[in-house]
Amino acid sequence: MKYLDEYRDPVLARAILDEIHRITTRPWTLMEVCGGQTHTIVKQGIDEALPQGVRMIHGPGCPVCVTPLEQVDKALAIAARPDVIFTSYGDMLRVPGTSTDLLALKARGADVRIVYSPLDALKIAVDNPDREVVFFAVGFETTAPANAMAVAEAARRDIDNFSVLVSHVLVPPAMTALLDSPTNQVQGFLAAGHVCAVMGWTEYEPIASTYHVPIVVTGFEPLDLLEGILMAIRQLEEGRAEVENQYARAVKREGTPLAQRQIMEVFEIGDRTWRGVGPIPDSGYRLRAEYARFDAEQRFDVGTIHTLEHPACIAGAILTGAKVPLDCTAYGTLCTPQKPLGAPMVSSEGTCAAFYSAARGLDARKVSLR
Amino acid sequence: MCLGIPGKVIEVRDDAALLMGKVDFGGVRKEVCLAYTPEVRLGDYVIVHVGFAISRVDEEEALKTLEILEQMGGLVTTELATMGPGMDRPAALSDDGSPATFGSASAPAGAATSAAGGPS
Amino acid sequence: MNADGPQPTTTIDPMSLSCPVPIPEGARVILGHGSGGQLSGALMREVIAPCLAAASPGGPLNDAAVVDVAGTRLAFTTDSFVVSPLQFPGGDIGELAVNGTVNDLAMMGAQPLAISLAFVIEEGLPLTELARITSSAARAAAAAGTQIVTGDTKVVGRGAADRLFVNTAGIGVVPDGVTLAADAARPGDVVIVSGPIGLHGVAIMSVREGLEFEVEIASDTQPLNALVAAMLAVEPGLRVLRDPTRGGLSSALNEIADASGVGMALDETTIPIPEPVRAACEMLGLDPFHVANEGKLVAVVPAASADAVVAAMRAVPQGEGAARIGEVVAEHPGMVTVRTIVGSERIVDMLVGEQLPRIC
């Protein structure tokens, strides 16, 4: 596949790894923000191939991981209603709420449907005028233009039986919250390539200069990740702290202006709680007042939601890199991918799930596939 | 995040005020909303995420990136060719000061592993 | 880590999960239990096998049972088919059902002797469709050199069956000297796949509601008994044959590794995945190793005859594209690993529940 395969060449991968080894003289701690990047890093074993002192911390970059428990519980409450067709991206179906998940609800008879695009959800609304169709609008900035368009189209075409449950999160506030934390260990970032394809990278320039951290906008293929890591380490070795763009084939400094315009027409910035991290001010999107009629939270009275996170979960410390899964008393025992307690074990891209999958810290010989 | 993959625009049409199109991903075709990239022409590549084109792939930049990477690849193979047998990759950091090797054993560097794309 | 706590009993490869792992819903069966992955295994182990206990001989789970009938070993298998849509690029449920049973017999080395065909039909199914599917089944049986000798037909009310459910059962004779079984793999053996993977699952997805896209991909459903005969002719001592249907290549290989108490090491660059399958999987965030196949087999063969077996496979139309994809190792018993492009090894784990597309 063009523009994908070229960035998977094993010979070039070795070449970049060699260069990373050549220029690294001190230990460094980097964070890749995006779940898709974590995916590639763990899948290809890139973090294991880096020089000994270079540590990759897997950031809170999967919206599935960080969707607040409260929003998940609201989704479940709405999906359980007989008059509702609840539509969602596939990832969200297995996220555990306080007592159940969407997939289990589906097994009990709720009309829960997976959609590939928010426009598909809109089509379901048009095709089912006598039902209420709710779309679980989660994601980072990458997904916001699509979710915004669904709402804008619903307004334009007067599709009244459509509403969205919004749970958008933004990357820059999460980065600054991490950098402000007294236990932060991250010295350089690989910024999320597709978030920046939409938003550009101007928001990251003040972060780089204020906190003196290199930020490299990075893609998702193995060579992209390796080159991004190389560029970040080069900056650190040279004492620089700039925003650089590794993913030049898809990202421009100004991003995609039309997408940004659509986002700001439909959404406004608001406070958001990140599961496993806590509330971060101005770190999410919510619907603007003009679109309030499409807000599922207002359309459906979901009652009072009492959320309950497990007390043993140290997700916050994991996400800042202050602790590793091996430091957690619940890791591998109470908390496993089958029965996750917190965000980093919930998603396949979370740090704890990634560690567990590589049988790190577990006696591999004792781990059978049953 | 995340799952955005590049595909080739093979059809563009105005669908009741929404710019829609068909994009080809290595033989798979899908309807994609092009409203955010109205400047694309047939044959252009776009990055598609959840059914929307979120940016246009810049062919020139793509080639530049590959060139830099290939140069790196070229430099390394030249270097290794001048080393004798039994010499490993250039050593780097290790906590006890000894030369570090990384990852698990793999094919000797310089062995022409086939380019990604795999057998079809 | 608490040493007294319950020991973890599974490994998960995050990349073979499309998303977070399910909490199995307390007391109910969920769709994931039918996916051919870990949940299916759990259902078998924790509910079905214990309940069958005294009435069942136990032993490793193979594609077909081998029953001794007065000195002749008879392979006996049954399968139900619930695919939707009934018609898909490359075939229909009738053909799928017959080929599925022929293949389960073939995985034990048996040529099909006789097949049964049972329908559970939802009220409202057009008769023309029923006729077409039945004819497909008949054609598939003839193509495999066997006959449909018995069957059953039931009709249920609207909503009680997803248009049509099909069950097939089959018997065949296992030739003398052939001892194919899931626990027969040994370190040093070679792992072979009979051709490109991922076609059936992607063909189904291409028509299924909500995930439609135009793809020139057809299901690979076909009978494999002729292929198996060709392989056994060259190497009667084949160790294991398995058809990677639900759960894909990774399920089949993991089950073999687990049953045999061995590890497997695969080379990703040698695993044949057609470009459109890769593209479709990229788009949806699916792992081709988890996608169902219907006309493929994986074989574990002694190293000495591996090349001869591959050549024999390629000489037969059903084995076009056969390739060596890895080997059986003594390390990491029960675990299948694959080499990555940077030289690390990652674990290829089984699907847990349903395969879901992802945005992350």
- CA C326/CA C192 separation, integer angstroms: 7
Q: How many domains does chain B have?
A: 1
Residue of B nearest to C324 (CA): B119
The total of other beta-carbon atoms located within 10 Å of residue A257's CB is 12
Q: Note the pLDDT of residue B27.
A: 77
Judge residue B101's burial from the number of C-beta atoms within 10 Å of its C-beta, 0-12 exposed, 13-18 middle, 19 or more buried: middle
- Where residue B100 falls (left for φ over 0; alpha for ψ -120 to 50; beta otherwise) is beta
**Among partner residues C32, C334, C357, which is closest to A114 by beta-carbon distance?**
C357
Nearest to B113 among A11, A19, A35 (CB): A11
Asked if B65's CB is within 8 angstroms of A227's CB, the reply is yes
Residue range C66-95: average pLDDT? Answer: 90
Phi, psi angle pair for C314, to nearest 5°? -65, -20
Chains that touch B (3 or more CB pairs under 8 A): A, C
Whether A96 and C275 lie within 8 Å, measured CB to CB: no
Give the model confidence (pLDDT) of C186-200 as tens digits.
999 999 999 999 999
- Find the radius of gyration of the CA atoms of chain B: 22
pLDDT higher than 80, residue A13? yes
| Confidence check: pLDDT of B113 > 70 | no
Confirm or reject contact between C274 and chain B (CB < 8 A): yes
What does the pLDDT read at residue A144? 96
The encoded tokens of residue A157 equal 């075409």
Residue A135 sits at the chain B interface (C-beta within 8 Å): no
Candidate from B106-115, C185-194, C216-225 with smallest mean pLDDT: B106-115
Alpha-carbon gap, residue A239 to A216, rounded angstroms: 14
**Partner residue facing A3 (CB), from B52, B57, B95:** B57
Q: How far apart are CA A289 and CA C21, in angstroms?
A: 36
d(CA C104, CA A183): 57
Percentage of chain B with pLDDT > 90?
Answer: 33
Chain B, nearest residue to A251 by Cα? B55
Q: Using alpha carbons only, what angle is made at residue A285 by residues A284 and A286, rounded to the nearest 5 degrees? A: 125
- Contact criterion met (CB < 8 Å) for C343 and B107: yes
Q: Is A100 on the interface with C (CB under 8 A)?
A: yes
Quote the tokens at residue A234.
């080069």
Q: How far is B22 from chain C (nearest CA, A)?
A: 10
CA–CA gap between residue C96 and residue C295 (Å, rounded): 9
Residue C323 is inside which H or E element, if any? strand C323-329
What would the mean pLDDT of A96-119 be, rounded to a whole number?
Answer: 86
Nearest CA in chain C to B103: C344
Confidence label for C346 from pLDDT (cuts 50, 70 and 90): confident
Is a pLDDT exceeding 50 seen at residue A145?
A: yes
Name the C residues in 33-52 with CB < 8 Å from any B CB: none
Q: How many CB pairs below 8 Å do chains A and C form together?
A: 215
Kindly determine whether residue A13 and residue C341, on different chains, have CB atoms separated by under 8 Å: yes
Query: Is B27–C276 a contact, with Cβ atoms under 8 angstroms apart?
Result: yes
Instruction: Return the closest-CA partner of residue C195 out of C271, C282, C254, C265.
Output: C271
A132 phi/psi in degrees, rounded to 5: -90, 130
Contact indicator for C289, C243 with CB cutoff of 8 Å: no
Residue A220 touches partner C, C-beta closer than 8 Å: no
- In tens, the pLDDT along A285-341 reads 999 999 999 999 999 987 777 777 677 888 777 776 678 888 888 888 888 777 777
Top pLDDT among B38 and C19 is at B38
Higher pLDDT among residues C359 and A46, named by residue: A46
Burial of C153 (0-12, 13-18, 19+ CB in 10 A): exposed
Cβ neighbours of A117 in B, within 8 Å: 33, 50-52
Beta-carbon separation of C340 and A334 below 8 A: no
Provide, rounded to the nearest whole percent, the portion of chain C with pLDDT above 90.
Answer: 59
Sheet bearing A84-88, strands edge to edge: A112-114, A84-88, A132-139, A162-169, A278-287, A267-274
Q: Angle at the Cα of A328 (from A325 to A330), degrees rounded to 5? A: 110
The region that residue B48 occupies, defined by phi over 0 for left and psi between -120 and 50 for alpha, beta otherwise, is beta
What pLDDT band is residue A358 in, cutting at 50, 70 and 90? Answer: low
Residue C359 contacts residue B50 (beta carbons within 8 Å): yes
Specify if B44 maps to a domain. Answer: yes
**If pLDDT is split at 50, 70 and 90, which confidence band does C208 have?**
low
- The answer to whether C239 touches C30, Cβ cutoff 8 Å, is no
Question: Can you tell me the distance from the alpha carbon of C187 to that of A327, in angstroms, rounded to the nearest whole number?
Answer: 36
CATH of the domain at B52: 2.30.30.140
Residue A188 — very low, low, confident or very high, per pLDDT cuts 50/70/90?
A: very high
Distance of residue A29 Cα from the nearest chain B Cα, in angstroms: 14
Residue A328 CA to residue A315 CA, distance in Å, equals 9
On the question of pLDDT at A69 being above 70, the answer is yes
CA separation (Å) from A251 to A233, A245, A256?
21, 8, 9
| Residue C54: per-residue pLDDT | 78
Per-residue pLDDT, B75: 60
Q: What's the mean pLDDT in B92-108? A: 36
d(CA A60, CA A324): 14
Rounded percentage of chain A residues whose pLDDT exceeds 70: 93
Q: Which of A325-329, C155-159, C210-214 has the lowest mean pLDDT?
A: C210-214
Task: Flag whether residue A340 sits within 8 Å of chain C, measured between CB atoms.
Answer: yes
Residue C122, H or E segment: strand C111-122
Distance (Å) from the alpha carbon of C223 to chain A's nearest alpha carbon: 30
Nearest residue on chain A to C45, alpha-carbon basis: A370
Residue C27 pLDDT class (50, 70, 90 cuts)? low
Give the closest residue to A312 by CA, choosing from A301, A327, A298, A300. Answer: A327
Name the residue of chain A whose CA is nearest to B56's CA.
A250
- Dist CA A246 CA A269 (whole Å): 28
Decide which of A268 and C202 is more confident.
A268
Chain C environment of B1 (Cβ under 8 Å): 359-360
What part of A 247-266 touches B (C-beta under 8 Å)? 248-252, 255-256, 258-259, 262
In sequence order, what are the beta bridge partners of A165? Answer: A136
B contacts of C273 (beta carbons < 8 Å): 118-120
Asked if residue A356 has pLDDT above 80, the reply is no
Hunting for tokens 């002719």 — which residue is that? C233
Whole-number average pLDDT of chain C = 85
Range with lowest mean pLDDT among A43-52, A249-258, B111-120, C101-110? B111-120
Query: For residue B77, what are the CA distances in angstroms to A16, A98, B71, B72, C343?
Result: 12, 55, 10, 9, 17
- Extract the tokens encoding C259: 């049953």
CB atoms within 10 A of CB A245: 23
Cis before C85 (ω within 30): yes
Written as six digits, the tokens of A279 are 């509330």
Return phi, psi of residue A46, to 5°. -65, -40
Q: What does the pLDDT average to over A256-265?
A: 97
Determine, for residues B119 and C323 on separate chains, whether the beta-carbon distance falls below 8 Å. yes
Measured distance CA(C218)–CA(C201) in Å, rounded: 9
**A143, B1 Cβ separation under 8 angstroms:** yes
- pLDDT tens profile C98-133: 999 999 999 999 999 999 999 999 999 999 999 999
Please determine, for residue A128, whether its predicted confidence score (pLDDT) is greater than 60.
yes
Which residues in chain A (170-209) have CB-CB distances under 8 A to chain C? none
Residue whose C-alpha is closest to residue C35's, from C50, C46, C52, C22:
C22
Q: Which residue of A has its CA nearest to B58?
A: A249
The interface predicted TM-score of the complex, written ipTM, equals: 0.89
Q: What is the pLDDT of residue B2?
A: 63
The tokens for A229 are 């890591």
Q: Which residue of A has its CA nearest to C339?
A: A44
Write down the pLDDT at residue A370.
26
Among the ranges given (C5-19, C93-107, C157-171), the one the predictor scored with the smallest mean pLDDT: C5-19
Chains in touch with C (≥3 Cβ pairs < 8 A): A, B
Query: What pLDDT is recorded for position A28?
Result: 97
pLDDT at B7 over 70: yes
In this prediction, residue C215 carries a pLDDT of 56
Residue A199 in contact with partner chain B when CB distance is under 8 A? no
- CB of B112 within 8 Å of a chain C CB? The answer is no
Q: What's the mean pLDDT when you consider all of chain A?
A: 88
Q: CB distance A14–C2 less than 8 Å? A: no
Of C129, C348, C205, the C-alpha closest to A357 is C348
- Inter-chain residue contact A338 with C342, CB threshold 8 Å: no
> What are the sequence ranges of the domains in chain A?
1-309, 315-357
Residues 23-62 of A with CB under 8 A from B: 24-27, 34-37, 39, 45, 48-54, 61-62
A210 burial (CB, 10 Å; 0-12 / 13-18 / 19+) is exposed
DSSP C185-247: --TT-EEEESS--SHHHHHHHHHSTT---EE---------HHHHHHHHHH-TT--EEE---TT
Q: Residue range C210-221: average pLDDT?
A: 68
Rounded to two decimals, the pTM is 0.81
C8 and A362 Cβ atoms separated by less than 8 Å: yes
| pLDDT value at C42 more than 60 | yes
Do residue B26 and residue C282 have CB atoms under 8 angstroms apart? Answer: yes
Q: What is the pLDDT of residues A14-58, one digit of tens each?
A: 999 999 999 999 999 999 988 889 888 887 889 889 999 999 988
Give bridge partners of residue A55 from the DSSP assignment.
A29
C131 min Cα distance to partner chain A (Å): 32
C11, pLDDT greater than 60: no
Distance from CA of B97 to the nearest CA of C (A): 23
Q: What is the pLDDT of residues C241-252, one digit of tens each?
A: 999 998 899 999
State the pLDDT confidence band at C353, using cuts at 50, 70 and 90: low
Helix A118-127 and helix A144-156: axis angle, to 10°? 30
- Measured between beta carbons, the chain A residues lying within 8 angstroms of C345 are 45
What's the average model confidence in pLDDT over A226-238?
Answer: 97
Amino acid at B67: E
What is the CATH superfamily name and number for domain A1-309? HypD, alpha/beta domain 2 (3.40.50.11740)
CA distance C27 to chain A (A): 11
Domains and CATH numbers, chain C: 65-173 (3.30.1330.10), 190-347 (3.90.650.10)
Is B18:A118 a contact under the CB 8 Å cutoff?
Answer: no
C210 and chain B in contact, CB less than 8 A: no
Q: Which residue of chain B has the CA closest to C283?
A: B5
Closest partner residue to B69 (CB to CB) among A12, A27, A35 is A12
Secondary structure of chain A as H, E, C letters: CCCCHHHHCHHHHHHHHHHHHHHCCCCEEEEECCHHHHHHHHHHCHHHHCCCCEEEEECCCCHHHHCCHHHHHHHHHHHCCCCEEEEECHHHHHCCCCCCCHHHHHHCCCCEEECCCHHHHHHHHHHCCCCEEEEEEEECCCCHHHHHHHHHHHHHCCCCCEEEEEEEECHHHHHHHHHHCCCCCCCEEEEEHHHHHHHCCCCHHHHHHHHCCCEEEECCCHHHHHHHHHHHHHHHHHCCCCEEECCCCCCCCCCCHHHHHHHHHHEEEEEEEECCCEEEEEEEEEECHHHHHHEHHHHCCCCCCCCCCCCCCCHHHHHHCCCCHHHCCCECCCECCCCCCCHHHHCCCCHHHHHHHCCCCCCCCCCCCC
A126 interfaces chain B, CB cutoff of 8 Å: no
Contact C137, C81 (CB under 8 A): no
How do residues A193-229 score in pLDDT, each as one tens digit?
A: 999 999 999 999 999 999 999 999 999 999 999 999 9
Q: Is the residue at B40 inside a domain? A: yes
Q: Are B76 and A14 in contact (CB < 8 Å)? A: yes
Owning domain of residue B31: 5-58
Q: What is the pLDDT of residue B63?
A: 86
Q: Using CA atoms, how far apart are residues A302 and A72, in angstroms rounded to an integer?
A: 12
- Which residues, including other chains, have CB under 8 Å from residue A289's CB and lie 6 or more apart? none
- Minimum-distance CB partner of B114 among C269, C285, C339: C269
Residue B99: inside a domain, yes or no?
no
Q: How close C7 comes to chain A (CA, Å)?
A: 6
Indicate yes or no: CB of C11 within 8 angstroms of CB of A94: no
